[in-house]
Amino acid sequence: MSSRHDPCSQPGLLHPDAAIPLLLEQVNAITATEVVLLPQALGRVLAEDLVSAIDLPPFANSAMDGFAFRHQDWQAGQALTLIGQSFAGHPYLGDYQPGTCIRIMTGAPVPAGYDSVQMQELAQVNGDQVLLEAVKELGENVRQRGEELSQGTKVLHKGCHIGPAEMGVLATIGIAQLKVLRRLNVAFFSTGDELMPVGSELGHGQIYDSNRYSLQGLLSRAGVDVIDLGVIKDDPEAIREAFINAASKADLVLTSGGVSVGEADYTKQILDEEGQITFWKLAIKPGKPFAFGHIAKAIFCGLPGNPVSSMVTFYKIVVPILNKLQGLPQTPPVRIKATLQQAIRKQAGRVEYQRGILSTSADGVAKVATTGSQGSGMLTSMTLANCFIVLEQMQGDTPAGSEVLVEPFNYLLD
Ligand code: AMP
Ligand code: MG
């Protein structure tokens, strides 16, 4: 194919899979840590390996409500004598006696000398005589001490993201405080003379600044501290001042608008003077123009102004950067195959992230429809959608009934 007809040979147009590693090469993880109490640890990144100081479970306990007995004491059709009880938090403290059993509840310690539990549904109680039925192997229904992990085992690794399950695991091993990475600071502002704050009247040619709100939503869900610097006018000195101010406060400076052809020259000049920035043309739609670099000690990402473009670029490009800054793994998005419900028009040349509505038919087959018009300024396409329909760079028009790949939205977008 001659390069003239190859849509991917557009000068400077870079596939996101090629661009992201190049960007990430320029990003270093922060190292500063702080100690937080467990209730404050949610959403943070663990900065130390955590080893359990206890066995889990810490003592042999019952997995059922029933009767604890010694396996070798049991014979089919012969009752055992009930001599005590062990409830959660209230162990049986007496000695083992041959031919006996102990009433026991889930989570209660299995008394010394006893080794098995039969569930109460399989017991016939007659006064202090308990007939256990269908007894199987030794140790049945007993959760052994240390069976999940033993003292000294590494439970959570440095660099792990602390979610609800990790919170519970930390508590299970008795961690009251822990070392985590300090939170990232992200400063962001919108640029554009047309942008008005909500609460004001729109004049002719003006629109409300929406990007700051979607970005704030994305950043908050990403668990970073946000510094909202408002709307900055398309004025070189105002923009310069905003860049310098933002970079002095943040690990990452995020802007929207002013990176497309026409406006870029203007932003570029200031950024060339104040930092090291590259203007990229990414082979993604929406979201082609993207600026990236450093201002002072901060990373800078200049997102396109179109509202869908700025969200998609954040999701696809900024999230890997936030992960790298926090030393988190880059987990590839989950993609699933779905049957396309209507034809899609597409030109080869860029990877498209069309907004889609994914559902499953009664027999569990995934199907997907687009949200309709896919203009990069139509933010309602994002509120209607629950997934991206991912159409690869060289793909063209795609007929109804085709199998397409979709990426369900994750918690950042839902
Ligand atoms: P720009 O990237 O500055 O050329 O802007 C591209 C398009 O996005 C224009 O239609 C802008 O009016 C629009 N736009 C830029 N910034 C915002 C914003 N913060 N909120 C809503 N629309 C915006
Ligand atoms: Mg603009």
Q: Ligand 1 mean position to 36 CA, how many Å?
A: 40
Q: Ligand 2 mean position to 292 CA, how many Å?
A: 17
pLDDT reported for residue 5? 43
Nearest Cα neighbor of 369 from 400, 336, 393, 391 is 400
Q: Ligand 1 mean position to 307 CA, how many Å?
A: 7
pLDDT tens, per residue, the chain with 414 residues:
333 444 445 667 999 999 999 999 999 999 999 999 999 999 999 999 999 999 999 999 999 999 999 999 999 999 999 999 999 999 999 999 999 999 999 999 999 999 999 999 999 999 999 999 999 999 999 999 999 999 999 999 999 999 999 999 999 999 999 999 999 999 999 999 999 999 999 999 999 999 999 999 999 999 999 999 999 999 989 999 999 999 999 999 999 998 887 776 777 888 889 999 998 999 999 999 999 999 999 999 999 999 999 999 999 999 999 999 999 999 999 999 999 999 999 999 999 999 999 999 999 999 999 999 999 999 999 999 999 999 999 999 999 999 999 999 999 999
What gap in Å lies between CA 186 and CA 251, rounded to an integer?
6
Nearest atom in ligand 1 to the alpha carbon of residue 194 is 12
pLDDT reported for residue 11? 64
Q: Ligand 1 mean position to 321 CA, how many Å?
A: 23
- Write the CATH number of the domain with boundaries 34-55+152-181: 3.90.105.10
The class (CATH top level) of 336-411 is mainly beta
Of the ligands numbered here, which is closest to the C-alpha atom of 216? 1
Give residue 393's identity as a one-letter amino acid code: Q
User: Is omega for the bond preceding 16 within 30 degrees of 0, making it cis?
Assistant: no
Q: Give phi and psi for 336, each to the nearest 5.
A: -130, 155
Buried b or exposed e, range 303-326, using 16+ CB within 10 angstroms: bbbbbbbbbbbbbbbbbbbbbbbb
Nearest atom in ligand 1 to the alpha carbon of residue 263 is 4
| Multiple choice CATH, 61-143, 2.170.190.11, 3.40.50.1100, 3.40.630.30, 3.30.1960.10 | 2.170.190.11
DSSP state letters, 209-233: --HHHHHHHHHHHTT-EEEEEEEE-
Residue among 234, 239, 256 to mutate when testing ligand 1 (max atoms within 8 A of CB): 256
pLDDT reported for residue 12? 73
pTM greater than 0.85 (yes/no): yes
Q: Quick one: residue 262, left, alpha or beta (phi over 0 = left, psi -120 to 50 = alpha)?
A: left
What gap in Å lies between CA 108 and CA 93, rounded to an integer?
12
Q: Whose CA is nearest to atom 6 of ligand 1?
A: 305
Evaluate whether 34-55+152-181 and 336-411 have a shared fold.
Answer: no
Identify the bridge partners of residue 359 per DSSP, sorted by sequence position.
Answer: 367
Of the ligands numbered here, which is closest to the C-alpha atom of 189? 1
pLDDT reported for residue 259? 86
Q: Ligand 2 mean position to 317 CA, how many Å?
A: 20
Residue 242 · residue 189 · CB < 8 Å: yes
Could you state, in order of their start, the residue ranges of all structural domains in the chain? 7-32+184-325, 34-55+152-181, 61-143, 336-411
Q: Give phi and psi for 211, each to the nearest 5.
A: -60, -35
Pocket of ligand 1 (CB under 6 A): 190, 192, 194-195, 207, 209-212, 256-260, 263, 304-307, 377
Residue 251 · residue 225 · CB < 8 Å: no
- Write the CATH number of the domain with boundaries 7-32+184-325: 3.40.980.10
Residue among 189, 198, 207, 312 to mutate when testing ligand 1 (max atoms within 8 A of CB): 207
Q: Ligand 2 mean position to 39 CA, how many Å?
A: 42
Nearest atom in ligand 1 to the alpha carbon of residue 309 is 8
Helices (H), ranges, 275-403: 307-313, 319-325, 380-384
pLDDT reported for residue 266? 74
